A and B are shown apart, each in its own frame.
Chain A
Amino acid sequence: DAGVTQSPTHLIKTRGQQVTLRCSPISGHKSVSWYQQVLGQGPQFIFQYYEKEERGRGNFPDRFSARQFPNYSSELNVNALLLGDSALYLCASSFNMDSNYGYTFGSGTRLTVV
């Protein structure tokens, strides 16, 4: 039984470029959340999607966008990359929006902006 899968695992981009990160939740899970984890800090909430609709947004600029597909997989897009966008991007899935059983995180995508 596959867990939360994220791709790619590592990515190097140049400032100003655009990037798309992908996440497949655990089978049966309908909620996907995205977090940014800068080295040495806790994850910061970016978005939550449930049943293909945005249900929550963190304090991130409009350069960050996301969507969820009918099969509940999700993409996170970041435009006009800045050096400060370098981080581990984590996807978390749960059966519903407000999980009493915690969230299952994927292994993340390590993004480096040079």
Chain B
Amino acid sequence: GQQVMQIPQYQHVQEGEDFTTYCNSSTTLSNIQWYKQRPGGHPVFLIQLVKSGEVKKQKRLTFQFGEAKKNSSLHITATQTTDVGTYFCAGKTGGTSYGKLTFGQGTILTVHP
């Protein structure tokens, strides 16, 4: 079945440093979504990417979707302590599984002040 791998599993940074997490799917995706889960919380939707090579920005966050629509990345510039949490990518393959999101295992981000 479809698998979504995410690296790194953990990332510890000093406040102000940049952070990047990478996501790879075993199959071509129709789109990919990114979620953030704070410790003890639930996933919160950040963004959806649909087009091959798409790049979207939200303030300090930059999201990219690969040309082959099998990989994606999230880059945070100048991290802040409020960025702490687990970042998940979640891929959709479309077809009959409209609503099925296949999540990566997440990258846990720790930011040291």
B97 to chain A, nearest CB (A): 5
The residue from A50, A103, A106, A108 contacting B101, defined by CB atoms under 8 A apart? A103
Taking a contact as CB atoms under 8 Å apart, the answer to whether B99 and A94 are in contact is yes
Q: CB-CB contacts of A28-50 with B at 8 A, as 1s and 0s?
A: 00010101000011111100101
Taking a contact as CB atoms under 8 Å apart, the answer to whether B99 and A48 are in contact is yes
B59 within 8 A of A: no
A106-B98 in contact given A42-B90, A42-B104 (Cβ < 8 Å)? no
Taking a contact as CB atoms under 8 Å apart, the answer to whether B99 and A58 are in contact is no
What are the residues of chain B within 8 A of A31 when measuring CB–CB?
Answer: 99
A41-B105 in contact given A97-B98, A100-B48, A102-B48 (Cβ < 8 Å)? yes
Classify chain A's interface size: 20 to 34
- The count of residues in chain B whose C-beta lies closer than 8 Å to any C-beta of chain A is 29
Taking a contact as CB atoms under 8 Å apart, the answer to whether B104 and A55 are in contact is no
The residue from A42, A45, A48, A101 contacting B88, defined by CB atoms under 8 A apart? A42
User: CA A74 – CA B41 in complex, angstroms?
Assistant: 21
User: CA A2 – CA B75 in complex, angstroms?
Assistant: 32
The residue from B98, B102, B104 contacting A48, defined by CB atoms under 8 A apart? B98
User: CA A75 – CA B100 in complex, angstroms?
Assistant: 18
Taking a contact as CB atoms under 8 Å apart, the answer to whether A33 and B105 are in contact is no
A61 to chain B, nearest CB (A): 16
Taking a contact as CB atoms under 8 Å apart, the answer to whether B48 and A45 are in contact is no
What are the residues of chain A within 8 A of B99 when measuring CB–CB?
Answer: 31, 33, 48, 50, 55-56, 94, 97-99, 103
The residue of chain B having its C-beta at the shortest distance from the C-beta of A100 within the complex is B48
B85 within 8 A of A: no
Which residues from chain A sit less than 8 Å from chain B, CB to CB?
31, 33, 35, 40-45, 48, 50, 55-56, 58-59, 90, 94, 97-108
A and B contact pairs by CB, cutoff 8 A, 9 listed: A35-B103, A42-B6, A42-B105, A43-B103, A45-B100, A90-B43, A97-B98, A105-B44, A106-B42
